Chains A and B, each alone.
Chain A
Amino acid sequence: MDFVFTSEHDELRQTIRKFVEDKSQEAAIRRQMSSERGYDPQVWASMAEQLGLLGLIIPEQHGGAGLGFVELGIAMEEMGRVLLCAPFFSTAVLATNALLLAANDAAQAELLPSIAAGKTIAALALNEPDRGWEVADLAMKAAADGNGWRLDGVKTFVIDGHSADVLLVVARTNEGVSLFQIRGEADGVRRELLPTLDLTRKLASITFDKARAQRIGRDGDLTKTIDKVVTLGIAALAAEQAGGAQRCLEMATEYAKTRLQFGRAIGSFQAIKHRCADMLVGAEFAKSAAYHAIFRAAENDDAELGAAAAMAKSYCSEAYFQAAADNIQVHGGMGFTWEHVAHLYFKRAKSSSLLFGDPLHHRAKLAQEIGI
C-alpha cells in the first residue's frame, strides 16, 4: 500500500504536461468549446501517434502500450490541469475499460487497435433519465432480433456521445445486464448534443428507436463488471479533478503575487494568503485521494478499490469545486468575467462533481463499505 511514482512515471508526466500545455492553451480551449465536435482531430491524432496516449492501458497485442492504471491516472491528471478538450475520458478510459472488462474477444480485436491508433472515438452509453448512477438500477432493454439485437430507449449524459464513431450501450437481456455495440450513425440512433454547464466536455442524449446493435458483452449478467468499469472511471475522473484543483491553486497564487491593491500585492494580505494555504491543503489531500484510488486500481485490488474510489470522488469533487470557487474569489471582478478562464474550471469542477454520483452519493457508499 504505497504510492511511489517511479522515474518512468515522472518522465511520462513531463512528456504529457509539455504536450497538453502546448495544445490546450486558452485560445484552443475556447475554439473547441464553441465547436460542435469539441476537440481538435489533429491533436487527437498526435495523442495517438506521437505519444501513444490513446492505447495506454490497451495490451500490446491490440496495438496499445500495455501500461497500467497509474499511467492512465497521470494522463488524466495532466489533462484536467489544462482542461484539454478531447474525448480521452470517454474513449481511452470508459469505453476502453468496458471493452477490456466486459467485451468478447472478437469485439476487443476489432475495436481496441482502432482506438489505440486514434481512428475510433468510442462512447459508453450508460445512464438513463431519472435512473441515478447505479448500474443495477438501469432499465433499458435489448431484444433479440434475428441474428442481432434491437435497442429501444433513451440514454443520457453520454460523454462525447454526439461525435463518437461507436457507441457501447449497456442494456438488459433476459440474462441481465450486457454490452452492445452500434455505430453512432446507425439507423434508429438519434443523437442530441446537450447544452451543458461545462462547455469543455460534451454530453449527448441518445434515443434508440428499433436500432440494430451487436451484442459484444461476455456471457452472463455483467452488472458487477460494468460496476467495475464505472469505478475505474471514477478513479480516473478523481485524478482529473486533482489536476484541476492544483491548477486553480496555481492560478490564484500567481494572481495574488502580481495584483496590487492598497499599494501591495494582495497575496500579502492574510485573508488571501490563508485562503491560498487552505487551497494547498485541499489540493494535496485531493492528490492523496486520487493517487490512492489509481494505485489500488493498478493493483487490481478489488477489496480496496470501491472504498478508495468513493473516497476519492467525494473528496476530489469538493476540493476541486472549492479551489475553482476560491480562484474566482481571489481574482475578484476579473474572475467573474467570461473573458477569464476561471469560470471554465468552475464549471468543469461542478460538472465533474455531479457526473457518476455527487460527493454525498459517494460518502453514502463509503459509509456502507466501512460500516458507518
Chain B
Amino acid sequence: MSTYATMNEDELRQRVRKLIEAADPDKVDMFTFRGAQFDHGLAWVNFPVGYGGLGLNPKMQVTVADELRKNCKTVYDDLIINPIGIGMGAATVLTYGSDEMKKRLLRPCFTGEEVWCQLFSEPGAGSDVAGLATRAVRDGDDWLLNGQKVWTTLAHISKWGLLVARSNPDLPKHEGMSYFLLDMQAPGVDVRPLYQITGEAEFNEVFLQDVRIPHSRMLGKEGQGWQVALTTLMNERTALGGGSQQRGGGPINVLLQLWKNNRAKGESAAAESVMRDRLTKLYIDAELLRLTSQRARSAQRSGNPGPEGSVGKLAQAELYKKIWECGLDVMGPNSLVYEPGYELRRPASEDRRDRTLMAKYQFLRSRANSIEGGTSEVMRNILGERVLGLPGEPRTDKGIPWKDVPRGG
C-alpha cells in the first residue's frame, strides 16, 4: 500500500494561509494564484513535492479546499477550469510520463493556462472503446496518426489531448494500442463542433490527418495504451451521482413545482389523479435514489461497502429521463413551444450548470444520461457480471488479431 508523508491538519491549514499571504486569490489573477497554489504543493496534495503536491494522503485535499473557502471570496472550480486535465490527465502523466513531461505539463494544467481534452471514443468505438481504429504508425522519431475521434469535450479550446490509438493491428485488440499526448494545435488536427439533440455543441469531432506526434510524447510503453487509458478512467472524478442530497431536491423538485404551476388547466379530475400517481411514483424513485446513495456513503465510511454503491448510475439515468419526460407532460400544450433560436450554438460552461434544472432543455439533454459514461446496457452488464457474478457473454473478439475482428463504420 502507499505510504504518505505526515502533516497534521493544522499544519496543512497553516500552509494554505501562507499561500493566501503569498498570492491572495481575491487580489491576484487566476493564473498567478493557482500557480502559487501549485508551487506550495497544494494543487494535488497527494502528488510528490515539486509536482504540485506534498506526498500526503489524497483525502487531505478537502482540508485545502475548506481552508480556502473559509478565507477567500474567490474560489475556483477545477471542474470548470480544466476538468479533464486536472481530474484525469495529471495523474496519468504523473504515473506514466517522463520527468521532463511532468515539469513541462503539470503546472499550466493546474493553473488552467493549458486546457486538456480526452480522445478515446470513436464513431466505431463507443461502448467497445478498446476496439478503436485510429492508426498510429511509427515514422522515424515520430508517430503518424490518422483517424477520427468523437464526443470530445473542450477539444476546441484545448492545448493537449489524451489520445489512444492503434499502433499494432496484428495484435489482439487490448494489446495493440499506445497512448499519446497530442498537441491540439499540430498540423492535421481538425476540430469541428458536434451538434447534439439540444441543438448545441457541448462536444466536438476531431479529425486526424497525417498528424505527427514525437515518440517522446508517448505515455507508457508502446502497446501499453489500454493500461494507461484505464489509469485515466480510474481517476475520472466521480461525478455527484446518486441524486440530490436533499429530500425532494433536484429534478423531482422542479417537476413538482412545474406541476403545481400548471395543474388544473383544463384537465379533468380523473386525468389529475392519474398524473398524481405518476408523480408520486417518480417522487418515490427519486427519494430512494437519494437514500440509497446515502446508504452507500455510510457503508463506505464504515469500510463495508456493498452493492448499494453500484446501482446509482443506472437508476439515476433511467429516472431522470422519466422525470423530464413527465416535465413536458405536466406543462401540456405549452411544451409545444421551445426557446427561440436554440439551435446550433455552443453553450458556455457556466451555462450548462444553470440549465441542469430547466425542464425543456433537460427533456432533450437527459437522453444522454443512459448513454454517456457507460450506457444503461453496459451498466446492467457490469451489475450482472461484477456484482452478481453472472458469466460474461461469449466473446468473438478474444485472442484474435484486431484487424480480423468484424467492425462497422
Contact = CB atoms under 8 A, between A and B. Distances in A.
Interface of A: 1-4, 249, 253, 256-257, 264-265, 267-270, 272-274, 276-278, 280-281, 284-285, 287-289, 291-292, 311, 314-315, 360, 363-364, 366-367, 370, 372
Main secondary structure of the interface of A (DSSP, over half): helix
Interface residues of B, number: 40
Contact of A363 (B284, B288, B294): B284
A131 B380 CA distance: 44
Contacts of A370: 248, 283
B45 interface: no
B392 A2 contact: no
A311 B287 contact: yes
A270 B377 CA distance: 9
B157 interface: no
Nearest to B390: A267
A366 B280 contact: yes
5 pairs of A and B residues whose beta carbons are closest in the complex: A273-B384, A267-B390, A277-B380, A277-B383, A288-B291
Interface stretch (B106-114, B187-195, B230-238, B307-315): B307-315
A277 B294 contact: no
Nearest to B285: A285
A285 B391 contact: no
Given A274-B384, A284-B307, A370-B248, A268 B283 contact: no
A361 to B, nearest CB: 11
Contacts of B307: 280, 284
Residue picked from A4, A253, A277, A364, most chain B C-beta under 10 Å: A277
Interface in B346-376: none
Interface in B243-296: 248, 256, 259, 276-277, 279-281, 283-285, 287-289, 291-292, 294-295
Contact of B380 (A268, A273, A288): A273
B393 interface: yes
B389 interface: yes
Contacts of B389: 253, 257
A199 B279 CA distance: 35
B394 interface: yes
Residue picked from A1, A4, A253, A280, most chain B C-beta under 10 Å: A280
Given A2-B298, A278-B380, A366-B283, 5 more contacts: A265-B391, A277-B383, A277-B384, A289-B288, A363-B281
Contacts of A289: 284, 288, 291
A64 B3 CA distance: 50
A288 B276 contact: no
A273 B385 contact: yes
A280 B292 CA distance: 12
Residue picked from B259, B276, B280, B308, most chain A C-beta under 10 Å: B280
Contacts of A253: 388-390
B381 to A, nearest CB: 7
B374 to A, nearest CB: 13
18 contacts: A1-B294, A2-B298, A3-B298, A4-B298, A253-B389, A257-B389, A268-B392, A277-B384, A277-B388, A280-B307, A284-B308, A285-B311, A287-B295, A288-B291, A288-B292, A289-B291, A367-B280, A370-B248
Contact of B388 (A280, A288, A291, A363): A280
B381 A270 contact: yes
Contact of A291 (B287, B295, B384): B295
B291 A292 contact: yes
B302 interface: yes
B387 interface: yes
Interface of B: 248, 256, 259, 276-277, 279-281, 283-285, 287-289, 291-292, 294-295, 298, 302, 307-308, 311, 314-315, 377, 379-381, 383-385, 387-394
Contact of B384 (A276, A284, A311, A372): A276
A319 B381 CA distance: 20
A132 B179 CA distance: 67
Contacts of A4: 298, 302
Residue picked from A2, A256, A273, A360, most chain B C-beta under 10 Å: A273
Contacts of B276: 367, 372
Given A4-B298, A287-B308, A257 B284 contact: no
Nearest to A272: B390
Nearest to B281: A363
Contacts of A291: 291, 295
Nearest to B290: A288
A314 B284 CA distance: 9
Residue picked from A3, A284, A314, most chain B C-beta under 10 Å: A284
Residue picked from A2, A3, A274, A372, most chain B C-beta under 10 Å: A372
Contact of B390 (A276, A284, A285, A292): A276
A3 B280 CA distance: 23
Contacts of A269: 393
A277 B377 CA distance: 10
A333 to B, nearest CB: 21
A372 to B, nearest CB: 5
A314 B283 CA distance: 12
A267 B292 contact: no
Contact of B292 (A257, A285, A314, A366): A285
Given A265-B391, A280-B387, A285-B292, A372 B283 contact: yes
Contacts of B394: 264, 268
A280 B295 contact: no
Given A253-B388, A360-B277, A372-B256, A285 B381 contact: no
A272 B388 CA distance: 12
A284 B292 contact: yes
A126 to B, nearest CB: 26
B132 to A, nearest CB: 23
A3 B311 contact: no
Contact of A280 (B381, B383, B392): B383
Given A4-B302, A277-B384, A372-B279, A284 B393 contact: no
A287 B394 CA distance: 33
Contact of A288 (B281, B308, B391): B308
Nearest to B279: A372
B77 to A, nearest CB: 28
A267 B381 CA distance: 10
A15 B294 CA distance: 26
A232 to B, nearest CB: 19
Contacts of A315: 284, 288
Contacts of B298: 2-4
Given A264-B391, A280-B388, A288 B383 contact: no
B284 A311 contact: yes
A285 B315 contact: yes
A3 B392 contact: no
Contacts of A277: 314, 379-381, 383-384, 388
Contacts of B314: 277, 281
Contact of B391 (A267, A284, A363, A366): A267
B315 A257 contact: no
A256 B390 contact: yes
Contacts of B387: 280
